[in-house]
Amino acid sequence: QVQLVESGGGLVQAGGSLRLSCAASGRTFIIYAVGWFRQAPGKEREFVAGISWTGGVTDYSDSVKGRFTVSRDNAKSTVYLQMNNLKPEDTAVYYCAVDTRTLHTVVRQTTWYDYWGQGTQVTVSS
């Protein structure tokens, strides 16, 4: 089992920044790629960003490309999502999720991921 805990969410004004963290514990040696997803009220959960096991491959949704940066520190079993120039439409609950099957790619489908955190709320005011 892998346990994931997200932190760093909060309320920020448009144009501001937040850094989310996803700390893993348990069987962390089985963690390969990690994805960040978000879900706004009344909407489906959507892919935001992801990073491969080595960090050599990253992927971003078009809506956050150029504003968000995903990174990881495997020694700390932690993945980060730096979010800059936040917009009101970024308001959502943000989740991290772990892929235990793929090493060198990032998968966007939510159903591919094996373990999920509880989420952290990000609210961007206009």
Q: Is the pLDDT of residue 1 over 80?
A: yes
User: Interior CA angle at 35 toward 19 and 73, to 5°?
Assistant: 60
Per residue in 69-111, pLDDT (tens digit) is 999 998 999 999 999 999 999 999 999 999 999 888 999 999 9
User: Which DSSP string do the residues of 93-109 spell out, in sequence order?
Assistant: EEEEEE-SS-SS-----
- Output the pLDDT for position 24: 93
Q: In 3-state terms, what secondary structure has residue 126?
A: coil
Are 122 and 41 in contact by the 8 Å Cβ rule? The answer is no
Q: Six-digit token pair at 29?
A: 């040696």
- Residue showing tokens 């995903």: 70
Per residue in 12-45, pLDDT (tens digit) is 999 999 999 999 998 877 778 999 999 999 999 9
DSSP at 68: E
Q: Is the pLDDT of residue 65 over 80?
A: yes
Q: In 3-state terms, what secondary structure has residue 57?
A: coil
- Output the pLDDT for position 93: 98
Burial-class residue 29 by CB neighbours within 10 Å (0-12, 13-18, 19+): exposed
